[in-house]
Structure 1
């Protein structure tokens, strides 16, 4: 974890767009380290929970950008990123020249490339900061940051990222972080689908499923989803993540046999367990 910023100087001002299961704990870690944190979320419930955690909230992303040196965008979908940044009352309306806009949402690499050029055209500095390891890790401040973008700007904000990350990587130009996150998610969902199918087969054949899981956890089949029992935690984004991968691959005429199968397997898994798939909120400023 980083040290608290020098109290002799005004604290860096950080705005967070999206105050859900990612944005709220990120804001809490930043505040604990001494940063000035302001947030926005179109959900009154999410905004209220953020205020309970000590995060000041504003009524739109333009107002948030106007008082921020770094804007972290932590919403769920490409169109939510678009609305938050370029829509009415969006970040671009309030940001001052040189504002850093860091995209922590999982978005398509194709959209990321166009987003970077549009942010730069608006006088902002784009960073790519998706993460991995799940909700427990963000609550604990131990996520992996898959960073990309201007290296000097990234290093300038590294101390802030260290407040909620255990590992921070800079992978190259803007969009490289999203490519790494796409690869991560393809492997994650394929692993989870394989774990589920194998354990259900073991049980159907008469073995104790938990005993088999324990054995696999120390075998050559060991994987993160298996050992963390990831299937018991909320997994709302599986189809979205796999659709992103399949769409990017379609543009390249690149076959993804395993990802396609994993997508169907995860749909069946979620249907069996009645797990809903989130939809874009399309929230607007009030």
Structure 2
């Protein structure tokens, strides 16, 4: 396996943009591409070299990190006519930092066929501020040797890194994280609503809860007050996987509906179908 010297980023948004800066700060050559001209221009203005296509990016990269929004975008970035596989050299590592269904990772590997590349999945948690600060958590699935080769790069943007097993295991970890995360957020929101209805101000109640057995990360970070554009997609992935396994997860269905209502109130568009 060749040494990683050049890292490519597909997606230069709220995750990919900060990741590119942190990776460059560790001395790697970094280049990026993004379908949105505004993000490309912003990245270029910050000194990042950009290219026009995923194929062109892969042709120069030892490791490519994909940080886009939906399964369909990941598949287009990897498998499209101008995708990563069209330009990748032998031994190129393609690491999917996006949150996608575990079966999407299986599909990528199958459709890549005999392409001489390595795949990892390495979804991210802790959100936008952690990306800016270089304190994200990543859960990784894939070959141990490939993971170890990529670890120094991951350490530039994540301070907690866990290798969970074979390809797709990182997405399983992120899926479980999201179920628990959004369940906590939903419970926090309804609990504070109940407190207010009964005459206790949310801020007063929040202070008490943070010192109680109900304390949780969502309460600490006020996740209920932040934008939640990806939450419904996250829950759709969980529900789709559970349905495929015929595994009853009734709480998951309730949480998904709570999240959907919150998104409707905040004016977010309907998400793409999980696994698309």
Counterpart among 147, 154, 158 of residue 151 in structure 2? 158
Deviation at 1:267, TM superposition (A): 1.3
Counterpart among 20, 38, 49 of residue 45 in structure 1? 38
Counterpart among 42, 53, 57 of residue 64 in structure 1? 57
List alignment gaps of at least 5 residues for structure 1: 1-9, 281-286
Counterpart among 71, 75, 79 of residue 86 in structure 1? 79
Distance in 1 of aligned mates of 2:269 and 2:46: 27
Distance in 2 of aligned mates of 1:78 and 1:271: 22
Distance in 2 of aligned mates of 1:90 and 1:184: 30
Corresponding residue number in structure 2 for 1:16? 9
Distance in 1 of aligned mates of 2:68 and 2:111: 18
Normalized against structure 1, the TM-score is what? 0.91
Distance in 2 of aligned mates of 1:53 and 1:192: 35
Counterpart among 222, 227, 236 of residue 234 in structure 1? 227
Counterpart among 88, 91, 95 of residue 98 in structure 1? 91
Deviation at 1:32, TM superposition (A): 1.2
Counterpart among 202, 209, 225 of residue 195 in structure 2? 202
Deviation at 1:275, TM superposition (A): 4.0
Deviation at 1:120, TM superposition (A): 5.9
Q: Give yes or no for contact 2:4–2:63 (8 Å, CA) kept in 1.
A: no
Deviations 1:189-237 (A, max 9, x none): 1111111011011001111111101111111111111110012222101
Deviation at 1:266, TM superposition (A): 1.0
**Matched length:** 271
RMSD of equivalent CA atoms: 1.5
Q: What aligned pairs does 1:1-286 form with structure 2 within 5 A after superposition?
A: 12-119=5-112, 121-277=114-270
Deviations 1:103-133 (A, max 9, x none): 0011101121222343462111001111111
Deviation at 1:49, TM superposition (A): 1.3
Deviations 1:145-174 (A, max 9, x none): 101211111111111110001111111101
Distance in 1 of aligned mates of 2:55 and 2:107: 21
Distance in 2 of aligned mates of 1:13 and 1:87: 22
1:198 is paired with a residue of what secondary structure? Answer: helix
2:211 is paired with a residue of what secondary structure? Answer: coil
Distance in 2 of aligned mates of 1:54 and 1:162: 22
1:236 is paired with a residue of what secondary structure? Answer: coil
Q: Give yes or no for contact 1:102–1:127 (8 Å, CA) kept in 2.
A: yes
Change (3 A) 1:244 1:65: same
Distance in 1 of aligned mates of 2:71 and 2:265: 28
1:121 is paired with a residue of what secondary structure? Answer: coil
Change (3 A) 1:273 1:114: closer
Normalized against structure 2, the TM-score is what? 0.94
Change (3 A) 1:62 1:39: same
